[in-house]
Structure 1
Amino acid sequence: MDIHPPSVPPGAFTHLDVVLLGRFAVAIDGIELAAECWPSLRAAQLVQLLSLQPHQRLSRDEVIDALWPQLEPEAGAANLRKAAHHARQALGRHDGIVLQAGEVLLWPERPVVVDAQQFEQRADAALAQRDPAGCADAAASYTGDLLPGARFEPWAEATRERLRERQLQLLRASGQWERLAQIDPEDEAAHRALMQRELAAGNRAAALRWYAHLREALQQGLGVSPDAQTQALYERCIAGLQVAGPAFVGRAQASAQAAAWLGMSTKERPGGIVLRGTPGIGKSALGREIAAQAQTRGWAVCRVGAAQTGRTYAVMCDITERLIVADRSVLDRVGAQARSVLALLSPHAAPAAPLPGPLGRHQVVGAIRRLLLAAAPGQDVLLQVDDTHLADDADVDVLTQLAASGAGLCVLLATR
């Protein structure tokens, strides 16, 4: 293939622009080189490597170690000469890459602008001034992670991580929590800020979705649960402390009916209670009253909130984690098979023997029932689930079967 790079007369004053964030591109005097101008991958990587260095220069040995670490010095030097020749072809100048005095230089004696270096300088200045507006402006110049095409090259890794951390710092300093949560799904501070924002606006369902987003990321990425501060905020969300709305019409009658149900014998009382109504009508408040009545009668109460996570058995996972975190010894009382099922729902139940065969819905029902009853030996248990309309079909099916599973357990569901 014939390659025709821009031809630049010797001595002409030119400047080089190098783009490393989000992609790789090179422009000479504002004219971007086509991708076909690069005769080889190593030629492009040689320019990328030099662009990352202060003053765009690096010792010959360091270049060889970075790009050809598996080769002997002599073979590495030969490959360097070849890559430099190809890079000069692409750049259209015989002095685009210079090897002299044990160093390799990119575009010496002429202006070179590298977007990654510009971003880092702007970021450091904005962070030093602690100016939210300046941090937001600097964050906007981060157009993507460094050299996505060289994601597995060790010579780019440290700089990529450093620049990414600068971007996260800028987003924190400028309060761009939603973008921060999208870039770093495991950032608890960002998710707490989003939960607090939605809670203050009276949008409890949205706050719970952010909590679910965080919990899912932490479980998959680190195998841990949200910390105590996040969990306390979650409790505020499911308690509905910030929800504003009209008083619940007929609450006294409904409360009395629930009290009557709770007072029935285990053979007579229903296995489930459903509180259904429009947002703001007072379902959460009534649910708290019913739970308080149950506790007064000596019941144990386990309260969770459903959220749209896209994950199967998200509610069952929440129940599992809450009870295990409160008392890990409960795992010793559920039996080996139930523990194997729970370990598939949450890493908190591990280690456990592998489950023989695929996980079935009836196994989840049995394991969750055993867990709930084992967590409160000798007590009736009220399982309270808020925002059940957000739960997926698998969770709804399990909750329905739990309500019909027999004495000792009653399910209280709040839904729109």
Structure 2
Amino acid sequence: MSSNAETSSVELFGEFRISIHGRPVTNWRAGRSRALVQYLLVHRGRPVSRDTLREALWPHLPPSAGATSVKAAVHGARRALCGAADQPTPVRICSVDGGYLLRADQLWIDVAAFDRRVRAATAAIATGDHGSAAEHFRRAVAIYRGPLLPNQDAEWVVAEREWLRTQALHALRFLSEQALGVDDLWTAIHWNRRALDVDPYDPAAFAVLADCHRRLGHDAQARRWDDLAVNRLAEV
């Protein structure tokens, strides 16, 4: 890992944080500059058209006003991300034909790291290497600190948030099944409690928690998990 990557990072899971060369970026002069950077980070490495940005960030504005807002947000974002004058910035918003491309090769991004681990685990499963898959999934769920940008309700955020939540639950279910396969009930309990942190309404996690406690002889605790499942799922 380069020195830039060690001190420059982005967290999109849970509270949004970005640090350039160890300096937290807080000088977002326009609210949408921050949202634009978040959108480009999630869609990193791919050109994004101005129209796509306008529709994602300013869906209720007429096209002309939205286009002006995109330009202003890009200008503000570039200023916020410029970093110290004597150090190259590890993240740049580049103009491309009809839009913008975020380059962040020297920036550690939690969502990107999570995605790499999930992809590696999937590849390991395809070759039958479940041990390596479990290790990649463990590292993935360690990165998943909470839902993507939980304080935002834009349509593009919600869609991406649910996809990442689904991947995290898939990883946790795999880890639970691995533990159950060797009768490691406490580890299975750990992963299913973690699954409820990711999705408080996950019926599969409730079922495993109750079953594990019954197998451990903890009948009262098993009943409490069953009752909690009934009460919580009634809220849906």
TM range (shorter): 0.7 to 0.9
Q: Which amino acid aligns with 1:90?
A: A
Q: Does 2:76 match 1:76?
A: no
> In the TM superposition, what whole-angstrom CA distance separates every residue of 1:61-80 from its partner, at most 9, and x where no partner exists?
11111111222222111111
Q: Distance in 2 between matches of 1:111 and 1:58?
A: 20
Q: Does 2:131 match 1:140?
A: no
> In the TM superposition, what whole-angstrom CA distance separates every residue of 1:343-396 from its partner, at most 9, and x where no partner exists?
xxxxxxxxxxxxxxxxxxxxxxxxxxxxxxxxxxxxxxxxxxxxxxxxxxxxxx
- 1:159 aligns with 160
- Say what the alpha-carbon RMSD is for the aligned residues: 2.3
Q: Which amino acid aligns with 2:134?
A: P
- 1:126 aligns with 121
Q: Distance in 2 between matches of 1:194 and 1:120?
A: 27
The residue correspondences of 1:281-292 to structure 2 (distance < 5 A) are none
- 2:212 aligns with 197
- 2:181 aligns with none
Please report how far the alpha carbon of residue 14 of structure 1 lies from its aligned counterpart in structure 2 after TM superposition.
5.8
The residue correspondences of 1:26-65 to structure 2 (distance < 5 A) are 26-29=18-21, 31-35=22-26, 37-65=27-55
Find the residue that maps to 2:10 and give its secondary structure.
strand
* Contact 2:4 2:107 (C-alpha < 8 Å) held by counterparts: no
Q: Which amino acid aligns with 2:159?
A: A
Please report how far the alpha carbon of residue 133 of structure 1 lies from its aligned counterpart in structure 2 after TM superposition.
3.6
* Contact 2:192 2:205 (C-alpha < 8 Å) held by counterparts: yes
Please report how far the alpha carbon of residue 41 of structure 1 lies from its aligned counterpart in structure 2 after TM superposition.
1.2
* Contact 1:97 1:104 (C-alpha < 8 Å) held by counterparts: yes
Q: Which amino acid aligns with 1:137?
A: R
* Contact 2:44 2:101 (C-alpha < 8 Å) held by counterparts: no
Please report how far the alpha carbon of residue 146 of structure 1 lies from its aligned counterpart in structure 2 after TM superposition.
0.5
Q: Does 2:97 match 1:96?
A: no
Q: Which amino acid aligns with 1:190?
A: A
Query: Greater shift after overlay, 98-107 or 44-53?
Result: 98-107
Find the residue that maps to 1:149 and give its secondary structure.
coil
Q: Which amino acid aligns with 1:204?
A: D
* Contact 1:88 1:97 (C-alpha < 8 Å) held by counterparts: yes
Q: Distance in 1 between matches of 2:103 and 2:198?
A: 35
Structure 1 residues 135 and 197, CA, compared in 2 at 3 Å: closer, same or farther?
same
1:21 to 13, 18, 33: 13
Gaps of 5+ in 1: 1-12, 222-416
Q: Which amino acid aligns with 1:42?
A: R
Q: Distance in 2 between matches of 1:56 and 1:199?
A: 50
Q: Distance in 2 between matches of 1:107 and 1:208?
A: 52
Q: Which runs of 4+ in 1 moved over 4 A?
A: 13-16
Find the residue that maps to 1:106 and give its secondary structure.
strand
> Which structure is higher in RCO with an 8 Å CA cutoff and minimum separation 6?
2
Q: Distance in 2 between matches of 1:126 and 1:74?
A: 45
Structure 1 residues 199 and 147, CA, compared in 2 at 3 Å: closer, same or farther?
same
The residue correspondences of 1:13-412 to structure 2 (distance < 5 A) are 17-29=9-21, 31-35=22-26, 37-92=27-82, 96-107=92-103, 111-128=106-123, 129=125, 130=130, 131-150=133-152, 152-175=153-176, 176-221=191-236
Q: TM-score, normalised by structure 1?
A: 0.46
Q: TM-score, normalised by structure 2?
A: 0.78
Q: Distance in 2 between matches of 1:26 and 1:185?
A: 28
* Contact 1:22 1:145 (C-alpha < 8 Å) held by counterparts: yes
Find the residue that maps to 1:104 and give its secondary structure.
strand
Q: Distance in 1 between matches of 2:203 and 2:59?
A: 39
Find the residue that maps to 1:148 and give its secondary structure.
coil
Structure 1 residues 14 and 84, CA, compared in 2 at 3 Å: closer, same or farther?
farther
More helix by share: 2
Q: Distance in 1 between matches of 2:13 and 2:46?
A: 17
Structure 1 residues 165 and 32, CA, compared in 2 at 3 Å: closer, same or farther?
farther
Find the residue that maps to 2:205 and give its secondary structure.
helix
Q: Distance in 1 between matches of 2:212 and 2:4?
A: 50
Please report how far the alpha carbon of residue 172 of structure 1 lies from its aligned counterpart in structure 2 after TM superposition.
0.8
Please report how far the alpha carbon of residue 188 of structure 1 lies from its aligned counterpart in structure 2 after TM superposition.
2.5
Gaps of 5+ in 2: 84-88, 177-190
